[in-house]
Chain A
Amino acid sequence: MEYETVIGLEVHAQLLTDSKIFCGCSTKFGAAPNSHTCPICLGMPGVLPVLNRKVVEYTIKMGLATNCRINPEDVFARKNYFYPDLPKGYQISQFDRPLAEDGWVDIEIDGKKKRIGIIRIHMEEDAGKLVHDETSPFSYVDFNRTGVPLIEIVSRPDIRSPEEATFYLRRLHEILVYLEICDGNMEEGSFRCDANVSIRPGGAAEFGTRTELKNMNSFRNVQRALEYEVKRQQYVVEGGGKVAQETRLWDDAQGTTLSMRGKEEAHDYRYFPDPDLVPVAIDNAWIEEVRATLPELPMEKRERFIGEYGIPAYDAGVLTATRALAEFYEETVKLTGKPKIASNWVMGDVLRYLNEEKRDIRESPVKPSSLADMINLIERGTISGKMAKEVFEEMYRSGKGPEAIIEEKGLVQITDEDALKKTIEQVLAANPSEAEQYRSGKQKLFGFFVGQVMKATGGKANPAMVNDILKKILSGR
């Protein structure tokens, strides 16, 4: 039987604020255990949380970037449950009045666009970190992460395959990073994802029973976990069984999902409005103020690059992967007027050298201005494309400009026609039998002569001129 897969995703993104959502403790990752805590985030009796304004601004930003409606009045609610990583016994979250609702993002797979709906985006606080002892019956609690601001982005069940799920996640990820409201680091948990998955017979109107998947900490694992879970559910159904509604953990090492049943109790969070936090009122002026700070988003930028610069979709995709890379590229184009050549250099040598050292484009020792200088030198014929490779490497290693390197290495291209003519004649004189063979029809030998000329000039001859002169001399005789 043909089954249709239905997936909805819940994404938690850590916001890039300096301090926590309800207190002034630092949000920096990797500090000594419990060194970023205070009576508020430790949940001491009698303390009062005060909302970090930036959290609201960042959430509005994400809401606008994903076409959501920004609700004019938003309320924090307590989600009650007991777990050692939650010092207060409740998490401050939002329930029936989240900040943003009813949005969407478009994804594009093999040139085909699809719209994925977003139910809601709400603000909440993160929980602490638990470290389990392998050898003794203890867990250790570090509350540094407690109170770090999160937004939860809940999609509609519009996703129909594990592949679509990954594309949607990448899309959210790039938007968050473009907005500079989340660092997107999945290993450090700044961007996390849970998935609701079900299958139903093709054409059915009702959803099947869903399972919730957790513990997938990379795009690849999300796709693997979903693929596994879809197969597992098909196997259960085809065996005459029923899919149980439960939470399952992805086990990376085994490549399977495991039921959490038994450990899990009935969820009854008893949400109610948090009396310690007054409602947030967002008027149009505030929304417009935030809207004015929105950058051009990745998909729009991609489309503009294709239209404005005439570069292939592939190039546009690579060059808009981050805002900094897109800026680097655009700056280079502005200074050269050569979009495709600039694209080749940025995607080629620039990214290759940076990737070798796992460096970010912002750390590139070659700045757009010197890359542009170099491209202009090629265009003017001062150096050949081949020489430029060498020049670029030196620019990257030393941080020097192209002119200085060309001068130091004596790399200037030979464009003196008489000098080239003389060298070519010498080459022909030194290889009389090849010259004879060429003239009697062995045209393939042309490349041999070009090679000899380049060799004789130490690679400095202007290749286009060598071709012209060589053709003239060989045919002229």
Chain B
Amino acid sequence: MKLTKAEVEYVAALARLEFSEEEKEKFTSQLNSILDYMDMLNRVDTSGVVPETHAITLRNAFRDDVVWKSLEPEEAIKNAPEERGSCFRVPRVIE
């Protein structure tokens, strides 16, 4: 076991996810099997290979600094569960 249940709980807390005990067990074992698979990949000799952060070799996809038309505020907040004065309304975040 590479990953403990405590670590799963920690990651879940970071992601604001709540799990039952049963789910925690399940995810611990699933995540461990993924890590085992990674271990298999780690056995491949990559000494001559440059590390890549992306699957494609493309570099420099840019846009020019040109302003486009934004959404109308009414449009932008259409999905908001709560709104006020074209702002998203959320539970207060400071005391």
> Which residues of A does B touch, CB under 8 Å?
17-19, 23-26, 32-39, 42, 50-54, 56, 73, 75, 80, 82-84, 130-133, 136-143, 263, 268, 270, 273, 275, 277-281
Contacts of A37 in B (CB 8 A): 70-71, 73, 76
Cross-interface CB contact of A33 among B59, B70, B87, cutoff 8 Å = B87
Most buried by A among B53, B68, B89: B53
> Which residues of B does A touch, CB under 8 Å?
14, 16, 53-54, 56, 58-68, 70-73, 76-77, 84-95
Contacts of B86 in A (CB 8 A): 32-35
In the complex, the answer to whether B91 meets A137 with C-beta atoms within 8 Å is: yes
In the complex, the answer to whether B70 meets A26 with C-beta atoms within 8 Å is: yes
- What 7 new A-B contacts, CB under 8 Å, besides A25-B70, A38-B70, A273-B54? A18-B66, A33-B87, A36-B70, A80-B14, A133-B92, A141-B90, A143-B76
Contacts of B88 in A (CB 8 A): 34, 84, 140-141, 143
Query: How distant is the Cα of A52 from the Cα of B61 in the complex, in angstroms?
Result: 9
Tell me the interface secondary structure of chain A in the complex.
loop
Query: How distant is the Cα of A26 from the Cα of B67 in the complex, in angstroms?
Result: 6
Given the interface pairs A35-B70, A75-B53, the reply to whether A52 lies near B65 with Cβ below 8 Å is yes
Contacts of A17 in B (CB 8 A): 65
3 smallest A-B Cβ distances: which pairs?
A24-B68, A140-B87, A273-B53
13 inter-chain pairs at a CB distance below 8 angstroms, sorted by A residue, are A25-B67, A34-B86, A37-B71, A50-B62, A52-B62, A53-B65, A80-B14, A84-B90, A139-B93, A143-B76, A143-B88, A263-B94, A273-B53
Given the interface pairs A34-B76, A34-B86, the reply to whether A281 lies near B60 with Cβ below 8 Å is yes
Contacts of B92 in A (CB 8 A): 132-133, 136-139
Contacts of B64 in A (CB 8 A): 52-54
Query: How distant is the Cα of A23 from the Cα of B94 in the complex, in angstroms?
Result: 30
Cross-interface CB contact of A263 among B59, B65, B85, B95, cutoff 8 Å = B95
Contacts of B60 in A (CB 8 A): 278, 280-281
In the complex, the answer to whether B77 meets A139 with C-beta atoms within 8 Å is: no
Query: How distant is the Cα of A330 from the Cα of B77 in the complex, in angstroms?
Result: 52
In the complex, the answer to whether B53 meets A19 with C-beta atoms within 8 Å is: no
Query: How distant is the Cα of A133 from the Cα of B89 in the complex, in angstroms?
Result: 10
- Within the complex, the shortest CB–CB distance from A275 to chain B, in Å, comes to 7
Contacts of B61 in A (CB 8 A): 50-51, 277-278
Contacts of A143 in B (CB 8 A): 76, 88
Minimum CB distance partner of A83 in chain B: B93
Cross-interface CB contact of A280 among B16, B59, B65, B72, cutoff 8 Å = B59
- Within the complex, the shortest CB–CB distance from A473 to chain B, in Å, comes to 73
Query: How distant is the Cα of A141 from the Cα of B81 in the complex, in angstroms?
Result: 13
Minimum CB distance partner of B93 in chain A: A139
Contacts of B72 in A (CB 8 A): 35
Cross-interface CB contact of A140 among B53, B68, B73, B89, cutoff 8 Å = B89
- Within the complex, the shortest CB–CB distance from B31 to chain A, in Å, comes to 14
Query: How distant is the Cα of A280 from the Cα of B54 in the complex, in angstroms?
Result: 12
- Within the complex, the shortest CB–CB distance from A268 to chain B, in Å, comes to 6
In the complex, the answer to whether B62 meets A19 with C-beta atoms within 8 Å is: no
Cross-interface CB contact of A130 among B14, B53, B93, cutoff 8 Å = B93
Query: How distant is the Cα of A82 from the Cα of B91 in the complex, in angstroms?
Result: 13
Minimum CB distance partner of A84 in chain B: B90
- Within the complex, the shortest CB–CB distance from A286 to chain B, in Å, comes to 9
Query: How distant is the Cα of A21 from the Cα of B28 in the complex, in angstroms?
Result: 38
Query: How distant is the Cα of A84 from the Cα of B88 in the complex, in angstroms?
Result: 9
Query: How distant is the Cα of A50 from the Cα of B66 in the complex, in angstroms?
Result: 12
Contacts of B67 in A (CB 8 A): 18-19, 24-26
- Within the complex, the shortest CB–CB distance from A341 to chain B, in Å, comes to 43
Contacts of B70 in A (CB 8 A): 25-26, 35-38
In the complex, the answer to whether A278 meets B93 with C-beta atoms within 8 Å is: no
Contacts of B14 in A (CB 8 A): 80, 268, 270
Given the interface pairs A130-B93, A139-B90, the reply to whether A19 lies near B76 with Cβ below 8 Å is no
Contacts of A23 in B (CB 8 A): 68
Contacts of A270 in B (CB 8 A): 14
Contacts of B91 in A (CB 8 A): 137-139
In the complex, the answer to whether A33 meets B53 with C-beta atoms within 8 Å is: no
Query: How distant is the Cα of A26 from the Cα of B71 in the complex, in angstroms?
Result: 11
Query: How distant is the Cα of A73 from the Cα of B50 in the complex, in angstroms?
Result: 13
Query: How distant is the Cα of A55 from the Cα of B68 in the complex, in angstroms?
Result: 17
- Within the complex, the shortest CB–CB distance from B10 to chain A, in Å, comes to 8
In the complex, the answer to whether A82 meets B66 with C-beta atoms within 8 Å is: no
